[in-house]
Amino acid sequence: MKQVGIWLDKQEANGVVLNNGKESLFNIPSELDFFNPKGGARSKTKWGPQDVVQDSKYLEREKHQLKDYFDKIAGQISDADEIAIFGPAEAPEKFVDALNERYPGLAAKVKATKTADSMTKNQFKALVKQSFGMDDRYPEAT
């Protein structure tokens, strides 16, 4: 059984793949532009025209870049049997919404979605194992 845990934000996605007792990690950079629109410019003449900042351009570009980013992540986890998604703010929710919209088969495999701040790789691996019911501290008796 292939279980995948993903921690993502708008900068990168880090993943842990648990497959028959073996662990592997992956990282996908987002390539999102972080927009910082400058304020409008004022004309030199009194009561002259002003340049208007077009927020809609920035938001539309970010929407397309997020779609590409989420598509890369979905491609990486396409063969997973169970998925757990973690991350700060609304990033995990946006990813789950994108899965529901474009990849309903993958969306059905999502077992957990939790808000989690940044953490070390070991903390993240422990969180993923815990979310799938595995725990390193108490190995199963064989």
Name the residue with higher pLDDT: 30 or 55: 30
Q: Does any domain span residue 47?
A: no
- Residue 136, domain member (yes or no): no
Q: What is the mean pLDDT of the chain?
A: 85
**What pLDDT was estimated at residue 57?**
81
Q: What is the pTM of this model?
A: 0.79
Question: Which range marks the domain in which residue 102 is found?
Answer: 2-32+54-131
CA distance 52 to 39: 8
Domain assignment present for residue 125? The answer is yes
Q: What percentage of the chain carries pLDDT values higher than 90?
A: 57
CATH assignment of the domain containing 102: 3.30.420.60
Q: What is the mean pLDDT of residues 58-76?
A: 92
Residue 115 lies in a domain: yes
Q: What would the pLDDT profile of 11-44 be if each residue is shown by its tens digit?
A: 999 999 999 889 999 999 988 877 665 555 566 6
Q: What percent of the chain has pLDDT over 70?
A: 82
Domain count, the chain: 1
| Residue at 141 is within a domain | no
CA–CA dist 47, 38 (Å, integer): 20
Output the six-digit token pair for 2.
């292939």
Could you count the other beta carbons within 10 Å of the beta carbon of residue 110? 19
46 assigned to some structural domain: no
**Residue 39 lies inside a defined structural domain of this protein:** no
- Specify if 37 maps to a domain: no
